[in-house]
Amino acid sequence: MSLDVGVLSAAHVHTDGYAAELSRRTDLSFVGVTDGDERRGTTCADRHGTEYVADPDELLGRIDAGVICAPNADHRAWIERAAAAGVHVLCEKPLAPTLEEARAIVELWRESEVNVGVAMPLRFSEAATRAKRALEDGEIGRIGAISGTNRGKMPGGWFVDPEEAGGGAVMDHTVHIVDLVEHLTGRTVSEVYAEIDTRFHEIPVEDVNVLSMSLSDGTPFLLDGSWSKPESWHTWGDATVEFVGSEGALAVDTTDQSVAHTVASGPEAGVHTVSHATDTSAALIADFVASVREDRDPMTTPEEGVRAVAVVEAAYESAERGEPVAVEL
């Protein structure tokens, strides 16, 4: 089955990773990139050897599937537009900046004939795959506590615009680890107590957050999802989860499989990191392409994506009220 794929907005920091993978694949045609910002769209298209298409409806009329890399506030509009054109989509996380919009996307997905996936690449890491198998086999016994981190660099741009992003580090970094923990344990987050602040950067949104959560079975779950890494950090950040069980402990580090090379002087001075971990972007795109060909749901559906949005919304409410808040779907 021939497959024509496009990129719908090039606004997200992960756009180049997805576009590079689309351009590498020989089993599909990377038709083009559309973006309201002509310079951004043209730059992305030229970099990956494809066409910039100014009219989004023209591109939607030429493709079978698209990858949405738009600001959070535009996700719903892009999904609605794609569904109307009969185009399957993989949408950057979070599914939407508000629970109301996320619910509307879920209803649209259920009523439409297109497949909609949410970009949660951590599920594809080898560390996560092995951890899920170990947890399902009961290797650490009953889980007693969980802690996680998603500490990265402050991305800037629209990510720090409250209107376009819907929030700061909580919005950006909570969803990855919450989704991973729910995927690995089969349990959902039921309550959140959040402490948030702006400490590292002069921006209008939070860059520090610590979330104290409870899973549906009462298991405590602590998460630091701050934009706390300096610009000079040798990687973009980290993504880890640790489980403490009655029979042992299990640590999952999805970004640790790398070799650091330090150059002492000269124009290349600094720490250079080469990863040998799973290429999760490639795995994410591969799953999405397969889901279109096999007419099945991608790995992470809108129904799962809406749960992470509900946790984010509860976190912001908790920070405002100064007390724990139940997660309501």
Q: What is the CATH number of the domain that holds 288?
A: 3.40.50.720
Query: Which residue pairs from 257-264 have beta carbons closer than 8 angstroms and sit at least 24 positions apart in sequence?
Result: 257/126, 257/127, 260/234
> Residue written as tokens 């600001």?
71
pLDDT confidence of residue 329: 85
For the stretch 152-190, pLDDT in tens is 999 999 999 999 999 999 999 999 999 999 999 999 999
Residues 22 and 52 reside in one and the same domain: yes
Residues 272 and 132 reside in one and the same domain: yes
pTM, 2 dp: 0.94
Neighbours of 276 (CB within 10 A): 8
Of the candidates 311, 302, 318, 294, which has an alpha carbon nearest to the alpha carbon of residue 95? 302
The CATH number of whichever domain residue 236 belongs to comes to 3.30.360.10
> Residue written as tokens 């997905």?
109
pLDDT confidence of residue 54: 98
What is the number of domains present in the chain?
A: 2
pLDDT confidence of residue 140: 98
pLDDT confidence of residue 278: 76
Residues 138 and 212 reside in one and the same domain: yes
Residues 165 and 266 reside in one and the same domain: yes
Specify the DSSP element, H or E, that contains 291.
helix 280-294
Residues 114 and 130 reside in one and the same domain: no
Distance (Å, rounded) from C-alpha 141 to C-alpha 186? Answer: 15
Q: What share of the chain is helix, strand, coil (3-state, %, to 5)?
A: 40, 25, 35
39: left (phi over 0), alpha (psi -120 to 50) or beta: alpha
Tell me if 206 sits within 8 A of 197, measured CB to CB.
yes
156: left (phi over 0), alpha (psi -120 to 50) or beta: left
* Residue span of the structural domain in which 317 resides: 122-278+309-326
Residues 37 and 83 reside in one and the same domain: yes
Residues 165 and 210 reside in one and the same domain: yes
Residues 100 and 152 reside in one and the same domain: no
> Residue written as tokens 């298991």?
219
Distance (Å, rounded) from C-alpha 250 to C-alpha 61? Answer: 47
For the stretch 59-91, pLDDT in tens is 999 999 999 999 999 999 999 999 999 999 999
Mean pLDDT, consecutive 10-residue stretches, the chain (329 aa), reads: 94 97 97 98 98 98 98 98 98 98 98 97 96 98 98 97 98 98 98 98 98 98 97 86 98 79 77 71 97 97 98 98 96
Residues 31 and 72 reside in one and the same domain: yes
